[in-house]
Amino acid sequence: MKVLITGAKGFVGRNLCESLKAIRDGKDRREEYQALLPLTIYEYDIDGTREELDRYCAEADFVFNLAGVNRPEDPADFMRGNFGFASELLGLLEQHGNRCPVMLASSVQASLEGRYAGSAYGESKLAGEGLFRDYSERTGAPVYIYRLPNLYGKWCRPRYNSAVATFCDAVANGRPFHVDDPSVELELLHVDDLVSCMLELLLGNVEPGPDGLCHAGPVDRAALGEIVSMLEGFRGSRSDLSVPDQSEGSFSKKLHATFLSYCDPGSLAYPLRVNSDERGSFTEFLRTPERGQVSINVSKPGVTKGNHWHHTKWEKFLVVSGEALIRLRRVGFDPEGDLYPVDEYRVSGADPVVVEMAPGMAHSITNLSETDELVTVMWTSESFDPARPDTYFEEV
C-alpha cells in the first residue's frame, strides 16, 4: 500500500508517520497490520515541491490530509491554508483519475456552534469539509471527515495551539504558566488513540456516518484546573514515589505519558533516599495507593534481616544478586504447645524465584555469602505507614 500524508512534519503527521514506519520496517508485527505490507510512505509538508505532490497524488492508495493552518498572523490565511491547499490536493488527485480514499482532519470548531460561533478557523474547516464532500460526489472517491477535538500527546508543540502541551512543558520543567479560567472544560483526544483510528481506516474497518463524518475516540473531558493539578501531582511523584493511575485507557495514564515526554534532556533522572546501617541498606523505589510498594534491599555478607511478622500486609521477595536463605514460621504454638516448624527456601539471583511472606508468619532473610552483598527486590502489599506499621518483632 502507498500512503500519502500531508502535514507529515506536524504533530499528528509525525505520530502517524512513525507508526507506519514501524509497520513498514517490521518493528510493529501485529498480525492485523501485515495486510498493509508492502508499505510505501509519502511524506509531504510545507517545504515539499509541487512536483513531489503531483507524483504522490498519482501513485497513492490512500491519502491522509493533515495539513492546515492553526495560528496565522492574518486570519485570511485560515482560508488560504486550510481550504486552498485542500483544493490543490483534490485537484491533483482528480487530474490523475486517482479515486483512492481520502481522510480529512477537520475540527469540532467546524460546527460553528456555541463558543465556536464566528470562528475564522472553524469557517475554513467547514469550507474544507464541503470541498471534500463535493469531490466525493463528483468522483465517487471515498471521503472520511474527522472533526477532531483538542489533541494531546508526545511531540505536540507547547505555547502554540495546545493548552495541554503548554502546561506539560511548563510543569515538567519549572517554567511559568498561567490559567485564565480553571473551570473551562476541554474535550481531549490522545494522539495514540487517533492514530489507531487512522490505521483502522487503512484496514477498511471504518464506516463514515452522515456527511462522511467519522468518530475519533475515545474522548475524555477535563477542566483546565484538573489537568494542572494532575500534572503537578506527576511532578511530585518523584519525591513521594507515587505512581499515578495507569489503568488501561484512563486519562491519567495517557496524560502522565504525555507529561514525561516533555521533560527537558538531562532531567529524567532523580535520586532516591538510601537508608543505610551496619547491616546494609534499604531504598524505597515506588509507592502506589492500591498496589503496594517496591523497595530494594541490600544485605552485607552474613547479615540476617527481618525477624518480624505482619497481621495483614504481605510481601514478595526476589533475590536478584547473591544467595540467600529465607525462613518463615507461623506465629504462636501448635496444639501440642510447640513452636510451628520453620519453612526454608534457599534462593539465588542466578535462578530467580519469588518467595511470599504470608500474614501471620515471622520471616527473615540471610545473606549466605561471606564476601558478596545480597540484593533483593521487595514488594509489599501496602506502602509503609509509620503511624500504622503492622510490623512486630519475632525471631524465626
DSSP 7-75: TTTSHHHHHHHHHHHHHHTTS---GGGGGG-S-EEEEE-TTS-HHHHHHHHHH-SEEEE----SS-SST
Q: Measure the CA angle with vertex 369, ends 365 and 371; round to 5°.
A: 130
Which grid cell is 36?
498493509
Q: What is the DSSP letter of 79?
A: I
Q: What is the pLDDT of residues 167-223, one digit of tens each?
A: 999 999 999 999 999 999 999 999 999 999 999 999 999 988 877 799 888 999 999
Q: Mind listing the domains of the chain with CATH numbers?
A: 2-260 (3.40.50.720), 274-393 (2.60.120.10)
**pLDDT band at residue 79, thresholds of 50, 70 and 90?**
very low
* pLDDT of amino acid 82: 55
The share of the chain scoring above pLDDT 90, in percent, equals 85
Q: Which of 33, 42, 56, 116 is catalytic?
A: 116
What are the distances in angstroms from CA 214 to CA 65, 188, 209, 252? 14, 16, 6, 25
Q: Average the pLDDT over 4-33 and give the result.
A: 97
Kindly report the pTM of this predicted structure: 0.90
**Active site annotation includes 42:** no
pLDDT at 77 over 70: no
